Structure 1
């Protein structure tokens, strides 16, 4: 049996929204494994279906930029939010985003690209670390392009123009004008920022994630059936399981999600109607959503805990 500490319970509680005692029990039942405990809580209906990748756990900035029918998004991480407000750091993010827009999303090639200062991106990053005094990293980059249409950018709660904690790009393929595509793209981008789709359509959802959801659904339904004291045929069980998985697919694929602006129209229908209104076809070709630090677990500094650890006390 793993030693369940208060900090582990606190961490799980923050991630799941479940009660403290439920979190403690979940950790105990799963030998201290936080991910398994999260699934256990979901199976019991005690936690929201939170996506692990949505946990913002690092600082820095996401930058987005567009030029014509092409757009780029980058994420540059730092240790503290204080650095994200630094002019030198912001200038670096701005430069790297522009270089990605001009040169593509190959990370190695981008790091070797020269910045306006004459240094390569990698050298400029090393210089930032030395002069600002905090570790930083160029984490990821994506570039979208359409042959005709628009790539529309959006930054949620921008810290400065083109940079913030959530950056979105929406690629719309169409011969419609900018007066149609720009406002449509911005609305879809705002939806993406809020709704956090996992894929453009259902075929793009990760098979491993779907299988995990299938297992969670099966356990949850089995628990409900056992509580009622009635058995159900295996085929009925599987139909209910697949019904749950189908719902998950619909709720997590962008085109089938209900548009946040009205809460009832699928995104695919919103785009189709926009095209119909102007007598042409508009296709949502792709999108990018970068949320600062998603998927990174950040170690929190706790002075009291450090003192306790030094004294050999388990927190």
Structure 2
């Protein structure tokens, strides 16, 4: 109350100027806290229509403040702010790479409206334009979406003044669905016609194998008699069609476990046929665990219809949760792992003491086996699925491909762990 009274007195009772007076006072107060360490905070995310995704880390000084409603609202609004500013690429102007600044300067210096200006004036105009351009690229320089009379950095400083702790916007990542992927229109009528023609060619020979199967041969034993109850149980456990379940049980002699595996393999085989189709639609999803670990992931499919289906959404959600549960995972697949990582792993394995006594040819095989295992630990698709560790994530994806009838690609993901950049810097300084 006394601060408000003083502000109004200082500004002659002008309410707008008094608000500005208080904001400036708040900013000055916030600046004093800027040197305090920020090792706590929150990981937050914002997903817009499953097509734009933001993952952000904001730090503060204590866990108590990080769990408060004011700080939580700050993190949520910052994530939304980043989503609303597609041109933003960095936190502050100082983060913009030198090559970007040099390129902007080169472009501005060649603009025709500067040619008639004196050299010293031209330089000032260019620097002003560059400064404006860099501010367009920086999140903290954007007009705040809930109050465009202030920029984001001032709003952060106001929050500092309110809660009494230093706050640092540490980092953010934005995913735009399908960015960089080539999208093409598909002629579905031609595709259906091609599939129909293929079935017509295959149809004349269909009856003969069926007769042979019914009779049985020397090489193929007669199929087991399958009860309706067993078919029903398999159908409930797998979601497969009744005839598929009956055939699977018949092929595996009524063994329920083997029949499940048979159906899975059949699904995987069907999925492989679709792997060449273009996947440029899909979803961006996120999963935040206790505000301390966050994952942003993009999974692509062929059509927007499938991308909005519940089964595809469940897959994306499960994959995001899977990444959170696997801190060692750094890549989508083994093929994504850089050659430099493979070489380093081989060097480490070749120097292991337990290999020194082994013959050269045996040593090489052991090393290759260990490297293969290690690379599998780094790849998301090679992990046991957290909801069913009898299958790998890549098998889960292929089962979903078979169920939905479209190609699916896990394109990319990013994981933030609260304070991990601070810990890395601390370790390097201690070293």
**Would you say same fold, with TM above 0.5?**
yes
Counterparts of residues 286-305 of structure 1 (less than 5 Å): 286-297=412-423
SS for the counterpart of 1:238 is helix
257-266 or 206-215, which deviates more: 206-215
Deviation, 1:217, is 2.4
In structure 2, how many angstroms separate the alpha carbons of the residues matched to 1:298 and 1:135? 20
93-102 or 115-124, which deviates more: 115-124
Residues 150 and 178, structure 1, Cα contact 8 Å, conserved in 2: no
CA spacing shift, 1:283–1:62, aligned 2, 3 Å? same
177-186 or 59-68, which deviates more: 177-186
256-265 or 268-277, which deviates more: 256-265
Q: Is 1:61 aligned with 2:187?
A: no
CA spacing shift, 1:232–1:71, aligned 2, 3 Å? same
Give the equivalent residue in structure 2 for 1:234.
360
Deviation, 1:119, is 2.6
In structure 2, how many angstroms separate the alpha carbons of the residues matched to 1:90 and 1:238? 53
Q: Is 1:150 aligned with 2:274?
A: no
In structure 2, how many angstroms separate the alpha carbons of the residues matched to 1:150 and 1:256? 21
In structure 1, how many angstroms separate the alpha carbons of the residues matched to 2:425 and 2:347? 30
Counterparts of residues 187-202 of structure 1 (less than 5 Å): 187-196=318-327, 197-202=329-334
Deviation, 1:98, is 0.4
Give the equivalent residue in structure 2 for 1:247.
373
What are structure 1's unaligned runs of at least 5 residues? Answer: 1-56, 158-163, 301-315
TM-superposition CA deviations, 1:185-227 (whole Å, max 9, x none): 111111111013211222433555544433432333x2x246x
Give the equivalent residue in structure 1 for 2:388.
262
Residues 58 and 298, structure 1, Cα contact 8 Å, conserved in 2: no
Residues 256 and 268, structure 1, Cα contact 8 Å, conserved in 2: yes
Give the equivalent residue in structure 2 for 1:71.
53
What are structure 2's unaligned runs of at least 5 residues? Answer: 1-37, 93-137, 179-280, 427-431
User: Aligned pair count?
Assistant: 232
SS for the counterpart of 1:73 is strand
Give the equivalent residue in structure 2 for 1:169.
296
In structure 1, how many angstroms separate the alpha carbons of the residues matched to 2:349 and 2:364? 10
Deviation, 1:253, is 1.0
TM-score (norm 2): 0.49
Give the equivalent residue in structure 1 for 2:156.
125
TM-score (norm 1): 0.66
In structure 2, how many angstroms separate the alpha carbons of the residues matched to 1:276 and 1:92? 42
In structure 2, how many angstroms separate the alpha carbons of the residues matched to 1:214 and 1:135? 45
TM-superposition CA deviations, 1:253-305 (whole Å, max 9, x none): 112222122123221221121121122222212222222122432999xxxxx
SS for the counterpart of 2:386 is coil
TM-superposition CA deviations, 1:70-117 (whole Å, max 9, x none): 211101112221120232221211111001112246123212112223
In structure 2, how many angstroms separate the alpha carbons of the residues matched to 1:146 and 1:113? 23
Q: 2:315 aligns with which of 171, 174, 184?
A: 184
Q: 2:345 aligns with which of 195, 213, 237?
A: 213
233-242 or 195-204, which deviates more: 233-242
State the superposition RMSD in angstroms.
Answer: 2.6
Q: Please identify the structure whose Cα radius of gyration is greater.
A: 2
Residues 355 and 363, structure 2, Cα contact 8 Å, conserved in 1: no
Give the equivalent residue in structure 2 for 1:279.
405
Counterparts of residues 23-34 of structure 1 (less than 5 Å): none
In structure 2, how many angstroms separate the alpha carbons of the residues matched to 1:245 and 1:120? 50
In structure 2, how many angstroms separate the alpha carbons of the residues matched to 1:66 and 1:144? 9
Higher RCO, Cα 8 Å, sep 6+:
1
In structure 1, how many angstroms separate the alpha carbons of the residues matched to 2:39 and 2:331? 23
Which one has a larger percent helix, Structure 1 or Structure 2? 2
In structure 2, how many angstroms separate the alpha carbons of the residues matched to 1:294 and 1:264? 32
In structure 1, how many angstroms separate the alpha carbons of the residues matched to 2:317 and 2:324? 10
